[in-house]
Structure 1
């Protein structure tokens, strides 16, 4: 192979690139399948998770409204609950559609805030539980920190 200019036989062809892309895609799909089998399905994007949350809340409200609200408040209350769920979906769905990346950024920011909070709590716990030179007892002090008295038993 010539170091400066490859010959026509040495240059990659379009079919080589296609074969390489196909092999990479197959390897990626196999690895994703292996991970799904080993660890379960990974969570979706933050927007997808918000949709799933809305669906779950709507389902739970539908389950609750039948026995509880049906007996207590009647069909009018059931209608109100359904209307509120529909309005919430109507308000949130367009926002999710227009800005799916925003929810991913918010989820990342939430994770960063949680990590910062954990770090602050752990640092404070270390301060509370560690024995620093400022808080160690003087050997001449008693157990309660007050002046102690040595007793010679010999």
Structure 2
């Protein structure tokens, strides 16, 4: 896996491209010298957690022939200053599912994602505590 980064302006706006040609941008907040034109690298980390787990959960539920009519997630990261860096200390994910889905299957799919399959979560696991909960058809499981 490989990505390329190219500087766009004289500050912190960058274009990134993966091997398949997909392009995205990164910038920093205005208060630290950026122009706030794109998510920050740390926001992309949280987006990675959300996207990785979504692919896992939906894949698992589809294999179990569960009917998913909507999927959303909220990811909240808490950071802690360590030697000048500010890595994530904890990450809380809420998975919102709608559809004809058995509650036990929804919980198990999330458990398998966060505890076994999600490569992003597993990468962050040594330094950040990742907690998750599932809300199915507006009811927390």
User: What TM-score does the superposition give when structure 1 sets the normalisation length?
Assistant: 0.25
Larger helix percent: 1
Higher relative contact order (CA 8 A, sep 6+): 2
Greater C-alpha Rg? 1
Larger strand percent: 2
User: What TM-score does the superposition give when structure 2 sets the normalisation length?
Assistant: 0.26
